[in-house]
Amino acid sequence: MLVAGNWKMNKTPSEAVAFVKELIPRLAGAKSEVVVGVPYVAIGGVVDALRGTNIKTAAQNMHYEAKGAYTGEVAADMLKDAGVDYVIIGHSERRQYFGETDVTVNKKVHAAINAKLIPIVCVGESLEEREQGVTAEIVRRQAKIALIGIDRATLLDSKLVVAYEPIWAIGTGKTATNEQADEVCRIIRGLLGEIYGAEAAAKVYILYGGSVTAANAAELFAMPDVDGGLVGGASLKAADFEVIANA
């Protein structure tokens, strides 16, 4: 199991350090692998504070180029050198607000793997797409394009993670039912099986994200094809995140 918090644009550097220091004793015995996805400006302090603990640090985005005239962007090697372990790629908010596409997601996946970062690749459908009955097609397309050029050995060596986040459930308080979440995670695992074989597909963490809370995490994570969660708002509350990480 893997539980990753996505703090989004929350917490100053000093607030971030104070928060992870609170998390360390709470999560020392966590049953899941635990990751916190922090803003760029907080990475240095958080990495230092978490050194030697069981909690890993993720960046929330990165550029696919190694260097160049990309004002305001951050490269994979910069994150790796800063001590980051994971990077969230293709979150729907990046797609919606900043022009992220399936193609740029694929480029970022390659850049992350080349830098020895573990990508958490986000896929998910809108409310309209779900209502039109095309969830499977949308999610399969997003995942398939994200993985173009990634062979079986690379997939397994990279420890790549896929996160299913229905856009209609992000920050809305609405959560996919346990069965809906498991169904789509199973669709993703089926696609991985088609490309890489069932044995490889079984080894990939597939997370659910979208209004995961302390109250619903245990039932969600108990579903056969849900291997943990990408947690938004609840990851900003130490007590809630502790419950989720141990769900």
Whether 74 and 63 have beta carbons less than 8 Å apart is answered as yes
Q: Which of 33, 93, 125, 165 is catalytic?
A: 165
Q: For this structure, is 73 an active site residue?
A: no
**d(Cα 230, Cα 211) in Å, to the nearest integer?**
9
Going by C-alpha positions, the residue among 234, 236, 231 that lies closest to residue 18 is: 236
Q: For this structure, is 33 an active site residue?
A: no
- The amino acid sitting at 62 is M
- Exposed, middle or buried: residue 154 (CB in 10 Å: 0-12, 13-18, 19+)? middle
**d(Cα 201, Cα 63) in Å, to the nearest integer?**
27
Residue with tokens 């015995």: 29
Q: Which of 33, 91, 110, 125 is catalytic?
A: 91
Whether 17 and 49 have beta carbons less than 8 Å apart is answered as yes
Tell me the residue ranges of DSSP E strands in 29-186: 33-38, 55-59, 86-89, 118-123, 161-164
Whether 91 and 142 have beta carbons less than 8 Å apart is answered as no
Q: Which two tokens stand for residue 17?
A: 């350090």
Contacts of 224 (CB under 8 A, 6+ apart): 182, 186
Whether 40 and 91 have beta carbons less than 8 Å apart is answered as no
Whether 175 and 211 have beta carbons less than 8 Å apart is answered as yes
- Please give the positions annotated as active site: 91, 165
